Structure 1
Amino acid sequence: MLDEMVFRSDDVPAADRFDYWAELLARTHAPMGLRSDHAADFRASQGVLDLGAVTVWSGTFQPLVFLRTPKLIRQSDPEVYHLSLVVRGGGVGVWRHRETEYKPHDLFINSSSLPNDVHSTGDPVQTVALEVPKALLPLPRDMAGRIVGAPMSARDGMGALLAGFLTQLTEDTAAYQPSDGPRLGTVLTDLVAALFAHILEAGDRLPPETHRRALTLRIQAFIREHLRDPHLTPGSIAAAHHISTSYLHRLFQDEDTTVAAWIRRLRLEAARRDLADPALRTVPIHAIAARWGFARATDFSRTHRAAYGTTPKDHRHQALHSHG
């Protein structure tokens, strides 16, 4: 079962519930100003799943106004994108560049770095949400503005894919092992990347740099999906996206890396996760290396030592020892 932190307002005296809820949101999300007509006896519940770099939670709460001000952003900014599936209730999100109304089966997209007011309506409000570090989905500030607050339905297309995965995950956490967490986080990151690419590509009149960013996000999601493929090469990636290999390399120059280095880093991270997984302790290191595209164990060991300063064997021993 995945590790889940659960909060229920009934576990706290009525007079303390609203303040406790505000503290909880500050810890699991970011500091916010909160207002509610129900503050005297606030009712809420929340379950938080830690999926490595990604956080997922389901929440039910009475109507609120969430305020993320420039002062609060300067105080603390976790640098994340926040996406919520509206299950019950609704509301309005207000940013400097946009105002968007939300209803059930809509996706709400926000950024911890942009000032905003979010007014929730309905009693209760029910959402399923996730947060992804911006470092995993790098977008220039002007493009982030195109994403944040963009109207997005969860009834079909990319929105439905993400919403369906989120809903299934939070409805039955018992179906997964704690070691599945980082893998599930990777899947969610890919789905969010694909959703962002879809939004950015929706307008034919968008500037070329926006299309380049959307294409890069799609390519990165494709690479994550095919990491285990030993035939994953710049040539095969370029062909799958109908671009030249030289153009693919230019796209990754904007990422301050090369295609090969990006693939190697992701493969190393995946192999390290498997080496640290107690459920895979009996799988030989060379088999894990081969699973993630390292055909020769000596190449894997050398690359691992160069990246992390330790051998795969030592990393596995350390990780499994800390588990035990």
Structure 2
Amino acid sequence: MDEQRLIELEVRGVDEWRETVTSLLLPLAIETDDPDSFRASITTVTVSGVRIYRISATSHRSARTERLVARGGDPFYAVVHQVAGSSRVAQYDHTAELVRGDFALYDTTSPYRREFPEGTTMVMLIPQQLINLPPRAFAQIAALRIPGDQGIGAIASPLLTGLAGNLGSLLGQGGRAVVQAVVDVISACVAEQLGIAAPTRSTTHLELLMEVREYIMSHLGDAGLTPQRIAQQHFVSVRTLHSLFKEQGTTVATWIRERRLEMARRDLIDAMCTDPIRVIGERWGFVDATHFSNAFKLAYGASPRQYRQAALQAQAEARV
């Protein structure tokens, strides 16, 4: 998507809306009780890799099904902010009921469902490498509701509402700084909701950090991924690389390990993934099965086998 252009569209009919959403947002299954009278409008802009949408629409339902997820796509955390009206988002066994001012997060790489009575929402698709949280937090993001009238959520809510009403302003010189600030505030809300320490960062090296994280994410399965190699690929010293991650309150090795564990966790809870646990570990850079099992249990409180069995059993019960 063009980062320098604001796109505004009016849509008539659910078929046209399905095509529009697939083109601009994500492939979704969409249903409505009255397809012919369905109406929607969408305004969108992308800044620093973060895609932002303001959507107004008549009543409908959407879903990111297992089949659509299997097609692949960039990994995002979605933030949906209720500007007007109400909506519902469900992922795994979690459901968030949103009213005006609330927002919720969910993972676009896993199936989810949304229901919209008539209203307006703002959706942000944030590249997952931009949110710096520990493994347990990633596992709890599914349909995580942040109330807009409590705690840091009460600070974030008017900020998100203002953003939704002024997307064109993000094309100016200050747009990148605004988006970075919003992502940080959202991260702080998640940290508060889950009772963990909120990450902080300096924006001085943010562009380099984003490039480094994107490189790491695309090479997670390489067991030879080391700080020396990463630094060499980005023409910086190893010391500079370590400093970048120290600003985030973490280390290069820790960040790589946590991302590998998270990707492995997703495979383990994917009912369509029948690969042996050893193969899943190797896919994400864990060459030693015992090390993978120990690291996973330390992060998530259960062995990979136990975690997989519990997740698949919960999914089976949810379908009954």
Q: TM-score normalised by the shorter chain: which range applies?
A: 0.5 to 0.7
Determine if the alignment matches structure 1 residue 83 to structure 2 residue 69.
no
Residues 51 and 184, structure 1, Cα contact 8 Å, conserved in 2: no
Determine if the alignment matches structure 1 residue 251 to structure 2 residue 250.
yes
Q: 1:140 to 1:58 in 2, by over 3 A?
A: same
What's the counterpart of residue 5 of structure 2?
3
Deviation at 1:95, TM superposition (A): 2.1
User: Hey, what's the Cα distance between the residues in 2 that align with 1:224 and 1:188?
Assistant: 13
The amino acid that maps onto 2:9 is F
Q: 1:194 to 1:19 in 2, by over 3 A?
A: same
Deviation at 1:226, TM superposition (A): 11
Out of 40, 59, 63, the residue aligned to residue 44 of structure 1 is 40
Determine if the alignment matches structure 1 residue 62 to structure 2 residue 58.
yes
Shift >6 Å, 4+ stretches: 247-250
What's the counterpart of residue 99 of structure 1?
95
Q: 1:23 to 1:225 in 2, by over 3 A?
A: same
What's the counterpart of residue 155 of structure 1?
149
Q: 1:88 to 1:249 in 2, by over 3 A?
A: closer
Structure 1: gaps (5+ residues) = 202-210, 228-246, 258-324
1:64-102: CA deviations, max 9, x gaps? 111111111111332111111112222332222312322
Identity between Structure 1 and Structure 2 (%):
18
User: Hey, what's the Cα distance between the residues in 1 that align with 2:170 and 2:114?
Assistant: 33
| 3-state secondary structure, aligned to 2:144 | coil
User: Hey, what's the Cα distance between the residues in 1 that align with 2:184 and 2:249?
Assistant: 22
Deviation at 1:170, TM superposition (A): 3.1
Output aligned runs, 1:83-232, within 5 Å: 83-121=79-117, 124-139=118-133, 143-173=137-167, 175=169, 177-201=171-195, 211=196, 215=197, 217-220=198-201, 223-224=202-203
Structure 2: gaps (5+ residues) = 207-245, 258-320
Deviation at 1:47, TM superposition (A): 0.6
As a proportion of its length, which structure holds more helix? 1
Deviation at 1:177, TM superposition (A): 4.6
User: Hey, what's the Cα distance between the residues in 2 that align with 1:140 and 1:175?
Assistant: 33
Q: 1:141 to 1:250 in 2, by over 3 A?
A: closer
User: Hey, what's the Cα distance between the residues in 2 that align with 1:59 and 1:30?
Assistant: 14
1:152-182: CA deviations, max 9, x gaps? 2112332232222222233234555533332
1:161-219: CA deviations, max 9, x gaps? 22222222332345555333322221222112212221221xxxxxxxxx4xxx3x513
Q: TM-score, normalised by structure 1?
A: 0.58
1:302-324: CA deviations, max 9, x gaps? xxxxxxxxxxxxxxxxxxxxxxx
User: Hey, what's the Cα distance between the residues in 1 that align with 2:69 and 2:248?
Assistant: 35
What's the counterpart of residue 293 of structure 2?
none
User: Hey, what's the Cα distance between the residues in 2 that align with 1:52 and 1:101?
Assistant: 30
| 3-state secondary structure, aligned to 2:78 | strand
Q: 1:52 to 1:249 in 2, by over 3 A?
A: closer
Say what the alpha-carbon RMSD is for the aligned residues.
2.9
Q: TM-score, normalised by structure 2?
A: 0.59
The amino acid that maps onto 2:154 is A
